[in-house]
């Protein structure tokens, strides 16, 4: 691995006697792991659904080391959203955020969704997660991951931090800024991060991080928590960014992280660092509390629909799950099951609020993949269940028609966990697994 000279100089200064140990770690293969998704299954079901062993990590009770390998995305357990592929130390930022069920959480730089899906797991379906990503193409990946993981209570937006945080001032109990950074902690797994590195890039990242934090501070309610994290080692993007933030925002104070991973920050603040020598790749996490007042400007969302569309949605919901849906809304021909406690989002670029129940096809409503992903097997009236190595399951995931003794819309499950649906009649299940998600080969 050829490391930039200036980077080595900086790291020698930062690590002192540990520099050689750091270099030796960089020669090791990158760490691999995954995070259990308790919205979809328990640890036992996950272990039974994986072809490799996993061992706990110190960064989160949901996070495990495991040889997931390149083809991890092809595993049926992955399609079913039982886990999120994530290097374990990346789970430390949400451990520091410590979201509680029922709270309103903003993940301001959220794509592709590693942290957002962890926050959703800790909310346990209660409260609201607002996941924002400024880059449109990346926001689509974020939406797809939240859907795969069956998150029922998320809003996905594609906004700049100043616009979003200005509109939702004081709305959130906790805000996460997992900032774009120079990615020095990714050097072991991504040669591209080495090629993109320069002192100028580090400085540009630091400037951008300060602007993002300025915006984020607005969104935190009085008494709320702000967590700042990066996957880089540079002092300029970590301790110095935090010091500059606190200097210009006396309404925030630094706070201890409620977990003991990694090691203390370089400046004696309560922030934590994780180096490869600490069982991770490279992370920095700082936590602040807003002690100054903040005026909440926003009002609750009042736009739930009524009338024939609502009645049609109720009928479809009953056909699929047998019960009554909560609040629904229609946006761009899609019927959504809305999260409770939405703020008014007029004027914001929202890609999704809650779960897609159905899409209007002429006068009919066609059920959506998203609603099945967010439901348990017990919720669904008709189900087929397969072990992860079943040829019929793999055929379903490839988009093929399979035999089915059921009639009507039928959830297809892996070890009891819903992974999609089809429509059964005359002994055959017509496949509704989305084309873009299908297994190839």
Residue 325 binding ligand SAM, by CB under 6 A: no
Question: Among 35, 115, 235, 249, which residue interacts with ligand SAM (rule: CB under 6 A)?
Answer: 115
Q: Which two tokens stand for residue 154?
A: 């998320």
Which among 40-48, 106-114, 120-128, 323-331 is the span making contact with ligand SAM, rule CB under 6 A? 106-114
Listed residue (227, 215, 222) closest to 164, CA to CA:
215
**Rounded Cα–Cα distance for residues 383 and 78 (Å):** 19
Q: Could you give the C-alpha distances from 64 to 32, 35, 93, 346, 437, in angstroms and in order? A: 9, 6, 15, 40, 25
Is 111 among the residues that bind ligand SAM (CB under 6 A)?
yes
The phi and psi torsions of 360 (rounded to 5 degrees) equal: -75, 125
Q: Applying CB under 6 A, what is the total number of residues that bind ligand SAM?
A: 16
d(CA 436, CA 423): 19
Beta carbon nearer to ligand SAM, 175 or 368: 175
Q: Phi and psi (nearest 5°) for 86?
A: -155, 130
Please identify, using beta-carbon distances, which residue of 206 and 338 lies nearer to ligand SAM. Answer: 206
Window 56-95: contact mask with ligand SAM (x via CB under 6 A) = ----------------------------------------
Least CB distance to ligand SAM at residue 347 (A) = 18
Tally of CA atoms within 13 A in the half-sphere of 192 that contains its CB: 1
231 is catalytic: yes
User: Could you identify the residue written with the tokens 């209007």?
Assistant: 360
Helix (H) or strand (E) holding 142: helix 136-148
Closest approach of Cβ 331 to ligand SAM, in Å?
24
Given 33, 76, 88, 114, the residue binding ligand SAM (CB under 6 A): 114
Q: Which ranges in 150-262 belong to alpha helices (H)?
A: 161-167, 191-196, 199-219, 239-248
Answer positive or negative: Cα dihedral of 150, 189, 177, 156.
negative
Q: What is the x/- site pattern for ligand SAM, positions 199-228, by CB under 6 A?
A: ---------x---x----------------
Could you tell me which stretch among 109-117, 340-348, 392-400, 411-419 binds ligand SAM (CB under 6 A)? 109-117
Q: Where are the alpha helices (DSSP H) in 152-303?
A: 161-167, 191-196, 199-219, 239-248
Cβ-based nearer residue to ligand SAM, 165 or 313:
165
Stretch that binds ligand SAM, among 2-10, 112-120, 300-308, 357-365 (CB under 6 A): 112-120
How far is 150 from 268, CA to CA, in rounded Å?
40
3-state secondary structure of 13: helix
Contact with ligand SAM (CB under 6 A) among 76, 113, 170, 422: 113
Closest CA to 409 of 325, 316, 335: 316
Query: What is the sign of the dihedral through the CA atoms of 333, 329, 133 and 33?
Result: negative
Smallest gap from residue 159 Cβ to ligand SAM (A): 9
Q: From the CB of 223, what's the least distance to ligand SAM, in Å?
A: 24
Q: Which three-class secondary structure state does DSSP give residue 425? A: strand
- Residue number, 131 or 431, with CB nearest to ligand SAM: 131
Q: Which of 158, 165, 205, 231 is catalytic?
A: 231
Residue 205 CA to residue 142 CA, distance in Å, equals 22
Gap between the Cα atoms of 216 and 226, Å rounded: 8
When asked if residue 283 is in the footprint of ligand SAM (CB under 6 A), the reply is: no
Would you count residue 110 as binding ligand SAM (CB under 6 A)?
yes
Taking CB under 6 A as the rule, does residue 286 contact ligand SAM?
no
Q: How far is the CB of 118 from ligand SAM (least distance, A)?
A: 8
Q: From the CB of residue 177, how many other CB atoms can be counted at a distance below 10 Å?
A: 26
Based on the shown chain and the rule CB under 6 A, indicate whether residue 112 belongs to the binding site for ligand SAM.
Answer: yes
| Residue 34, strand partner residues | 64, 85
According to DSSP, residue 399 is labeled T
Tell me the two tokens of residue 43.
């640890």
Q: Which residue lies nearer to ligand SAM by CB, 286 or 316? A: 286
Answer yes or no whether residue 180 interacts with ligand SAM by CB under 6 A.
Answer: yes
| Cβ nearer to ligand SAM, comparing 227 with 357 | 227
Q: Which of 41, 109, 193, 271 binds ligand SAM (CB under 6 A)?
A: 109
Choose the binding region for ligand SAM from 96-104, 132-140, 196-204, 315-323 (rule: CB under 6 A): 132-140
- In the complex, which residues of this chain contact ligand SAM (CB under 6 A)? 109-115, 133-135, 138, 161, 178, 180, 208, 212
**Residues with catalytic annotation?**
231
């Amino acid at each position: 691995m050829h490391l930039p000279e200036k980077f080595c100089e900086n790291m020698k200064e930062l690590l002192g006697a540990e520099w050689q140990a750091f270099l030796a770690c960089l020669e090791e293969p990158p760490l691999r792991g995954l995070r259990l998704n308790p919205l979809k299954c328990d640890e036992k079901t996950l272990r039974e659904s994986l072809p490799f062993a996993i061992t706990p990590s110190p960064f989160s009770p949901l996070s495990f080391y495991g040889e997931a390998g390149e083809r991890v995305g092809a595993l049926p357990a992955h399609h079913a959203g039982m886990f999120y592929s994530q290097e374990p130390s990346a789970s430390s930022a949400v451990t520091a955020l410590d979201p509680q069920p029922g709270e309103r959480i903003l993940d301001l730089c959220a794509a592709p969704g590693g942290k957002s899906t962890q926050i959703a797991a800790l909310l346990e379906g209660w409260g609201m997660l607002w996941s924002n990503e400024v880059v449109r193409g990346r926001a689509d990946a974020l939406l797809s991951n939240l859907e795969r993981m069956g998150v029922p209570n998320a809003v996905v937006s594609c906004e700049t931090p100043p616009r979003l945080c200005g509109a939702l001032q004081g709305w959130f109990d906790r805000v996460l800024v997992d900032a774009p950074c120079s990615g020095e902690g990714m050097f072991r797994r991504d040669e591209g991060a080495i090629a993109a590195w320069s002192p100028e890039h580090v400085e540009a990242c630091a400037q951008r991080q300060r602007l993002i934090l300025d915006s984020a501070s607005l969104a935190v309610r009085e008494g709320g928590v702000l967590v700042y994290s990066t996957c880089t080692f540079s002092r300029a993007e970590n301790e110095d960014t935090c010091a500059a933030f606190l200097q210009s925002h006396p309404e925030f104070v630094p706070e201890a992280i409620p977990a003991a991973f990694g090691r203390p920050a370089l400046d004696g603040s309560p922030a934590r660092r994780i180096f490869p020598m600490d069982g991770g790749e490279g992370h920095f996490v700082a936590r602040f509390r807003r002690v100054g007042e903040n005026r909440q400007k926003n009002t609750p969302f009042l736009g739930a629909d009524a009338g024939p569309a609502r009645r049609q949605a109720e009928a479809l919901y009953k056909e699929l799950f047998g019960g009554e849906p909560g609040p629904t809304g229609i946006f761009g021909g899609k019927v959504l099951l809305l999260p409770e406690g939405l703020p008014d989002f007029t004027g914001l670029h929202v890609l999704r609020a809650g779960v897609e129940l159905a899409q209007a096809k002429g006068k009919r409503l066609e059920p959506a993949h998203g609603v099945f992903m967010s439901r348990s097997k017990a919720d669904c009236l008709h189900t087929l269940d397969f072990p992860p190595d079943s040829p019929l399951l793999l055929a379903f995931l490839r988009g093929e028609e399979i035999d089915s003794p059921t009639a009507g819309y039928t959830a297809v499950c892996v070890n009891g966990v819903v992974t999609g649906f089809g429509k059964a009649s005359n002994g055959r299940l017509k496949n509704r697994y989305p084309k873009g998600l299908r297994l190839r080969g």
